[in-house]
Amino acid sequence: MNQRNNRRLVLFPGPIQGHINPMLQLAQILHDRGFSITILHTDLNSPDPSPHPSFAFRSIGDGLGQSEASTSDIVRLIMLLNARCAAPFEERLREEVSSQDAPVTCLIADALFSFARDVAERAGVRTMVLRTGGATAFRVFAGFRLLRERGYLPIAESRLEDPVPEFPPLRVKDLPRVNTGEPELFDRILNDRIEGIKDSSGLILNTFEDLEQPALSLLRQEYPIVVFPIGPFHKCGPCSSGSFLAEDRSCISWLDKQAPNSVVYVSFGSIASVNESEFSEIALGLADSQQPFLWVVRPGSVRGSELVENLPGCFLEALEERGKIVKWAPQHEVLAHRAVGAFWTHNGWNSTLESISEGVPMICMPCFSDQNVNARFVSDVWRVGVHLNNGLERRKIAEAIRKLLVEKEGEEVRERAAQFKEKANSCLMQGGSSFQSLDGLANHILSFEL
Ligand code: UDP
């Protein structure tokens, strides 16, 4: 048995699609480096173990009632998880520590759990933290208190266009929108989460130096901890899906029949939703664009009826002629497909990074949390996408799609997106920044005393 097989890592993902995916990818990356993996997970959205036969999965029991176990109000869910999971997590972790399996070298916890580091310390285990968002957005969340003190938060409608010089080029409208009736409780949990990261044995990020170098270098100055940007995780090697919904693979054979770079892929992730009139406007915009489209209409993603048959007739004709709708797509494969030339996204961090890694320009429609920050960086800093400003309107949607897919005007955006794909690929190659950072992470973990 080599040194690493004898080292077990316990990973504790947050029960949200955009958090489970990168944690399982990280587990695979570390397993490929020889570490044994145990996943502790909540009952809510428990991952399917079958695609990961080499990992041990253990449920902690989250104590959430049926009405509480939902991602429809994400802020409330995070607060509930932090209130309910500490005790069962501690019990489970102590069982793992005293088990006959390989000794637990380290806990890798999702940053959304504010209690994880303290609990692990009591159990005699070192903690590293995985932040599933970008480095830039992390700095903004860590600056929440300052943003409140300086009057940027809560967001005032009269100040939406004001710049936020502390985080250029953000404007007030780009700051994370957090809807909660309990702002003080939210701030306390957020603060504990940030402090937990500061006191941890290191921070792992799903990003890469060439993408977020300025934010990473500020983070290193501001935090007395080691930071490991080892992304994009999903490109580090083959990784199995962690999807909660079944992936509809028929869209891949449909894509096979489309011309290169002709299709706009539309998906707003696992939580965001639109109302019925927005649903209809999206459909009309797709129809007006005259381009082929692949649209993910996730169950529950329309507040109201999501019946496609009720959409306007001109859309139904376009769907028949050059469109495809699925409930859930194999997104990595879709974005890597030669037919896909643009991604209309809500700019969740995973989707944003997946698009950047495949060189697919984005149409940005951020909804909440860090999505506005990500979208602003996509359009104004990396300049690999366009914003759908001022609400949804069919003509503007069609214009944005055509700009990215066919118009000369979109050429520079397409070129920059292709350059980022190169950068994402080269950071993972031997000697690349993420490759080296991963070496550093593995050695860092091996340096922990058992
Ligand atoms: N995803 C997928 N199929 C879909 C839509 C999304 O596999 O049809 C995946 C996507 O690849 C990403 C995750 O779901 O890894 C969504 O995470 P993201 O951070 O983009 O958004 P969230 O769901 O957290 O808002």
State the Cα angle at 52 between 85 and 434, rounded to 5°. Answer: 85
Q: Which of 45, 233, 270, 352 to mutate to test the pocket of ligand 1 (most atoms within 8 A of CB)?
A: 270
From the CA of 330, how far away is ligand 1's center (Å)? Answer: 9
Atom in ligand 1 nearest the alpha carbon of residue 327: 8
| CA separation, residue 195 to residues 116, 118, 120, 274 (Å) | 11, 11, 15, 35
List pocket residues of ligand 1, CB cut-off 6 Å: 16-18, 21, 243, 267, 269-272, 296, 328-329, 331, 348-351, 354
Q: Mind listing the pLDDT tens digit for each residue in 194-235?
A: 988 999 999 999 999 999 999 999 999 999 899 999 999 999
State how far the Cα of 350 lies from the Cα of 355, in Å rounded to an integer.
Answer: 8
ipTM above 0.90, yes or no: yes
- Positive/negative CA dihedral, 203, 241, 19, 376: positive
Q: Which helix (H) or strand (E) segment is 388 a member of?
A: none
- Where would I find the beta strands (DSSP E) of 17-134? 36-41, 56-59, 104-110, 127-131
Q: Are 18 and 132 in contact (CB under 8 A)?
A: yes
Q: Are 228 and 205 in contact (CB under 8 A)?
A: yes
0.90 surpassed by pTM: yes
Q: What is the pLDDT of residue 3?
A: 57
Q: Mind listing the pLDDT tens digit for each residue in 69-123?
A: 777 788 889 989 999 999 999 999 999 999 988 899 999 999 999 999 999 999 9
Burial zone of 72 (CB within 10 Å; 0-12 exposed, 13-18 middle, 19+ buried): exposed
Question: Is it true that the peptide bond before 224 is cis, omega within 30 degrees of 0?
Answer: no
Q: What is the pLDDT of residue 376?
A: 97
Q: Mind listing the pLDDT tens digit for each residue in 22-50?
A: 999 999 999 999 999 999 999 999 999 99
Q: Mind listing the pLDDT tens digit for each residue in 171-199?
A: 999 999 877 778 788 888 888 889 889 99
Atom in ligand 1 nearest the alpha carbon of residue 270: 23
Concatenated DSSP letters for 236-296? SS------SSPP-THHHHHHHTSPTT-EEEEE-TTT--EEHHHHHHHHHHHHHH-S-EEEE
Atom in ligand 1 nearest the alpha carbon of residue 19: 24
Atom in ligand 1 nearest the alpha carbon of residue 269: 23
Q: How many CB atoms lie within 10 A of CB 229?
A: 26
Q: What is the pLDDT of residue 127?
A: 97
From the CA of 25, how far away is ligand 1's center (Å)? Answer: 13
